[in-house]
Each structure stands twice: as C-alpha cells, then as structure tokens.
Homo-oligomer: A and B are copies of this chain.
Amino acid sequence: MPRQVDHAARLAAVTDAVVAIAAERGFAAVTIRAVADHLGASTSVVTHYVPSRDDLLRLAVRREVAVRRAEAERAMAAGPDPLWALVRWAVADLGGQVHRFWLSLLIAAPTEPVLRAELDGFNTWWDGHLRGLVRRSGVADPEVVADTLDVVVDGLVTAGFEDLDPTRRDRVLTRVWSALGLAAG
C-alpha cells in the first residue's frame, strides 16, 4: 500500500481483505499473515493498523453488520410491507460474497468468541425487527411464524450455493408467505 494513503483508507483495505478471505476460505483462514499476503504488505503494516487477529475479526464483522443494517433499514422504510422487504433484502438483494461471508460467520461463531459477540449484536437487532413485524402482522402463533421465517431465510441463503435459481427461490418465498398466513408482500 502506498505510504500516502491515509489511515482510514488503510483500515478499509485491511477490512476488505478480512471480508474477502473469510468469504472465500472461512474465518479459520483469517490470520495476520493471510491479510498481509492478500494486501501484498508485511505483517507489521497490518499490525500497525490492527494489532491482533481478534481485532481484525471484530473490525470486519462490525463494519459488515453496520453496512447491512443500514441497507436493511432503507429497504424496510422504502417498501409498503416492511416484513416482506426485510426478508427479500436478506435472501435476494445481498450478493453471493455477502452470503458466503455470512455463512462463514455462522459456522465460525461457536468457536470464535469475538465473532459470537458481534453476531449476537446483529441477531438482537434482526430479531427485534422480524419478531416485531410478525407480531404486528396479526398472524396466529407469531413466535412459530418468526422462527419459520428465520429458518427459511437461512435456508434460502444456503440453497443459493446449490442450484436454486431466483425464479424457484421466489416461488418458495411466495408459497411460504401464503402458507404461513402472511399478507401478500
């Protein structure tokens, strides 16, 4: 990285590298050495900006979560049905790299306390919106319906790595929506 690049830009480059490595090879592959190699820099350049591996993980997940929350909040504010908008955003608007990063995060969280803590923060936000919106929809058994939507969102993200194309994905989502008694999105 050229010396003139300012601190914020270098931090952003380090964060981009962590996200790319985690999405491509999983969080176990995120090391100070791997980030340095990804940037074509020495490990001391990386540790000058981010002193430890845990700090690397925290920085990357925190930025990703902040970006995704902002996107989701814009989607919910824009649509006539914020519940539908939230679920559509999670399964259809996010790209493959985001879904890979996300699944890598879910898999790694049980064994990486830093990831667990950041993911818990996101989940509190997600649950608050999803469960609040399901309750306000007036559907019977809102807790089971919210759990089911969580499962379907996770499943559509995972099935995206298989051969489920957007047309079939949308048919599944529409079918689940009506089968659960939710109003048309």
Complex interface: chain B residues within 8 A of A153 (CB): 155
Chain B residues with Cβ under 8 A from A110's Cβ?
161
Cross-chain contact of A148 among B100, B147, B175 (Cβ < 8 A): B175
With a cutoff of 8 Å between Cβ atoms, the chain B residues found around residue A144 in the complex are: 168, 171-172, 175
A151 touches B150 (CB 8 A): no
Is A180's beta carbon under 8 Å from chain B? yes
A164 and B180 form a contact (CB under 8 A)? no
Chain copies in the assembly? Answer: 2
Contact B147 A151 (CB under 8 A): no
Residues of B within 8 A of A164 (CB): 147, 150-151
Interface size class of A (residues with CB under 8 A): 35 or more
Say yes or no: is A16 at the interface (Cβ < 8 Å to chain B): no
**A122, chain B: closest CB distance, angstroms:** 11
Question: Which of A21-29, A62-70, A78-86 faces chain B?
Answer: A21-29
Contacts of A145 in B (CB 8 A): 175
Interface segment, A50-58, A101-109, A128-136?
A: A101-109
Q: Is A162 an interface residue (CB 8 A)?
A: yes
Q: A57 CB to closest chain B CB, in angstroms?
A: 14
Which one of B29, B103, B123, B175 lies within 8 Å of A158 (CB-CB)? B103
Any B CB within 8 A of the CB of A94: no
Contact between chains at B157 and A106 (CB < 8 Å) = no
* A residues with CB within 8 A of B: 24-26, 28-29, 100, 103-104, 106-107, 109-111, 123, 141, 144-145, 147-148, 150-159, 161-164, 168, 171-172, 175-176, 179-180
